[in-house]
Amino acid sequence: MSDQQEFPDYDLNDYADPENAETPSTNTGLALPGQNLPDKVYIIPIHNRPFFPAQVLPVIVNEEPWAETLELVSKSEHHSLALFFMDTPPEDPRHFDTSSLPLYGTLVKVHHASRENGKLQFVAQGLTRVRIRTWLKHHRPPYLVEVEYPHQPSEPTDEVKAYGMALINAIKELLPLNPLYSEELKNYLNRFSPNDPSPLTDFAAALTSATGNELQEVLDCVPMLKRMEKVLPMLRKEVEVARLQKELSAEVNRKIGEHQREFFLKEQLKVIQQELGLTKDDRSADVEQFEQRLEGKVLPAQAKKRIDEELNKLSILETGSPEYAVTRNYLDWATSVPWGVYGKDKLDLKHARKVLDKHHAGLDDIKSRILEFLAVGAYKGEVAGSIVLLVGPPGVGKTSVGKSIAESLGRPFYRFSVGGMRDEAEIKGHRRTYIGALPGKLVQALKDVEVMNPVIMLDEIDKMGQSFQGDPASALLETLDPEQNVEFLDHYLDLRLDLSKVLFVCTANTLDSIPGPLLDRMEVIRLSGYITEEKVAIAKRHLWPKQLEKAGVAKNSLTISDGALRALIDGYAREAGVRQLEKQLGKLVRKAVVKLLDAPDTVIKIGNKDLESSLGMPVFRNEQVLSGTGVITGLAWTSMGGATLPIEATRIHTLNRGFKLTGQLGEVMKESAEIAYSYISSNLKSFGGDPKFFDEAFVHLHVPEGATPKDGPSAGVTMASALLSLARNQPPKKGVAMTGELTLTGHVLPIGGVREKVIAARRQKIHELILPEPNRGSFEELPEYLKEGMTVHFAKRFADVAKVLF
């Protein structure tokens, strides 16, 4: 097929041919009757863009199948052929749909045909528009057609002249923007008069970068005025694009020039300053910067010696060497540590109490523990480094208590989570021989806070991982132990740091996964769940205002009643913390905002009745306190807080002795059940039951909510009481809940989570409890509002339990 392309090695002026070209007398590119134009010509399709009568351009076509066509053209008298534009080349040029050719093509005179590398090249000189009248040969190349030439009146109208002037002006604007156009204009002026509208219009169209189909529309348009109307907007668009390109190029060149000038001036200035001794090179500047950083800091002798050695080394090394970069990074970190810089503590207990009360509702026992801790510091004159471990269920405010401690002391606070950390280098740093080595998180923390006595919080310390890269929990032993961290060694710095004045605050959900040696170094403060009263206060003081602010709602536009808050807490957010409560309050606010968008001036009040429509049915229903023979209410601790745990025992049949357990119980709980069964079986007579009851009874013990895994020894007395109630066939006293571990000899051992279990009992409106005697102290330590209205029996042996129940 063909490709149309310009070749710089032709002088196109050689092909100016006034005889055959459209001269001023022939007007508008249309042949007059007197002109010697052939009525039968061969055609070749082209695919790049249409060829215009005003053009002289080289054309390249494939030797196969157009060689024969060009030979026949060269033997003809007129040496002419017709070029027709085809938008998409056919798969086989020997067979194409003749109807796919456009209405008009261009008759061109062929000059200098040559052959090279399977291609034919010739210079085509555009003569006039041509239209196919009939196909004489169309089965395969060479294609021969009979043609006709369009005619048009020769006198141009005033409107045509006006358009001609507009085109000439646009071409004038285009010439300064792109020098390539001036060459084409010279070639055009050698062949045509600038006042001849037809070739002028075609020339203007050929200058544009319009698509092939748009240009073909111009070629198909014979009437002069219509054609000019099509071409003028195309040419104006070309002028705008060329102008924009020139502006962009000028802007880019200006910026590059500015940068180069700036670079040369800076380099010259640097050389002049060095010659005059006014400035130093990069290396001297680095050394000076590091020395300035150390001013006002008190370095230990070992650190001072090491840093001086590294500074001497830096001043010798070449700035381009890798060792220079390593040494510079090392000094950057070593001089950023706030050696000997300590912040002054605010040891004002009134201020501390105010801060704690402002940020936290409830938690009175925790606040008093923190104030005691601060009081010791105030008495001594400094809060020495120690480790506080805040343990409690999610959402009870462990992290925010840590922040409050820092705020009440007036110390900077730095928090990082160690949950999932598997690499001990995160704590102690990498050795600096490795690429990309960094100091540990503690050095990074000291650099950020700029004092040696901040409050550093290690969040989620119970969720640390282990891997082949080391055990970060063991790496924390040296970090946290006040006896050892006076000389904490970071692997990267390889210098001893004194962390003994740092106050470490750790948080955890449970203590089970914290290694014993690490736990031993910490002062444990337990944050239990909140009771409903505390949650209502937290919601009113903190959570509800926060959600309104988040949604941008005015306080007087949306309110919630205390009754609705209580119903929300009991029915939708009964967990120990307040995260779920915050989410549900956020949901209520979002639902209200939808209504406020429709009616902005309304005041929305959320009451009990509105909860179900906004939040759906309550997630939690009031746990039914089961009662009857063989049914006892126990108390359980979970990581989410406390819960009541009913236990049921029943006799299935009396055919043989047997004991069955259900309710997804863990190993320890199964053992507790076995102990309870053995103890009651062997001591039934002393508790007023039939000694032979278990000899011939098949007993089934079940702990409801069978889908929930349960474990732990604290249900021992509850299970024994259920079995005793069954054996005596006597229902226990109503409204009593209990907890405690039972031994085979009937001793009641202490349990954990007393506060959570008391909260769970209060929630279920149970006000009589049986607790192990060793837990008396834990109960006495509880806040008064939790103990108020509770009757508690402390049991040393199981007989004490039986007395209360029966």
Was 392 annotated as part of a binding site?
Answer: yes
Tokens (6 digits) for 680:
């009651």
Cα–Cα dist 136/41, whole Å: 10
134 near 146, Cβ under 8 Å?
Answer: yes
Please name the residue that has the structure tokens 């919080």. Answer: 457
**439: which residues sit within 8 A by CB, 6+ positions away?**
333, 429, 490, 492, 493
Catalytic annotation, pick one of 404, 408, 672, 714: 714
Distance CA 729, CA 724 (A): 8
Cα-flanking dihedrals φ and ψ of residue 451, to 5°?
-140, 160
Mapped onto helix, strand or coil, the DSSP state of residue 751 is coil
Q: How far apart are CA 721 and CA 770, in angstroms?
A: 12
Q: What is the DSSP letter of 167?
A: H
| Type of residue found at 723 | L
Asked if residue 393 belongs to a known ligand binding site, the reply is yes
The DSSP symbol for 417 reads E
Q: Is residue 498 within a helix (H) or strand (E), and if so which, with residue range? A: none
Contact at 8 Å (CB) between 785 and 537? no
Burial of 359 (C-beta count, 10 Å sphere; 0-12/13-18/19+): middle
Question: Residues 6 or more apart from 735 whose CB is under 8 A from it?
Answer: 625, 766, 767, 768
Angle among Cα 552, 558, 560 to the nearest 5 degrees reads: 125
Annotated catalytic residue, options 386, 721, 757, 778: 757
What is the DSSP pairing of strand 503-508 with strand 455-459? parallel
CB 718 within 8 A of CB 757: no
Catalytic annotation on 408?
Answer: no
Residue 489 near residue 352 (C-beta atoms within 8 A): no
Q: Which residues contact 3 (CB under 8 A, 6 or more apart)?
A: 46, 47, 48, 59, 60, 61
Q: How many CB atoms lie within 10 A of CB 329?
A: 15
* 93 annotated to bind ligand: no
* 399 annotated to bind ligand: yes
Q: What are phi and psi of 500, to 5 degrees?
A: -70, -20
Question: Is position 394 annotated in a ligand binding site?
Answer: yes
Number of neighbours of residue 593 by Cβ within 10 angstroms: 15
Distance CA 632, CA 637 (A): 17
Rounded CA-CA distance 361/540 in Å is 10
The tokens describing 759, both together, are 């909260």
Q: What amino acid is encoded at 322 in this protein?
A: P
90, 42 Cβ separation under 8 angstroms:
no
Helix axes 212-220, 197-207, angle to 10 degrees: 170
Question: What distance in Å separates the CA atoms of residue 69 and residue 82, rounded to the nearest whole number?
Answer: 11
Q: How far is CA 703 from CA 296, 431, 623, 694, 801, in A?
A: 67, 55, 14, 20, 20
Looking at 130-223, list the stretches that DSSP marks H as alpha helix, in order from N- to C-terminal side. Answer: 158-177, 180-191, 197-207, 212-220
80 catalytic? Reply is no
Binding site annotation covers 395? Answer: yes
* Cα(595)–Cα(613) distance, integer angstroms: 13
- Residues at the annotated binding site? 392-399
- Residues at the annotated binding site for ATP? 392-399
Q: Catalytic site residues?
A: 714, 757
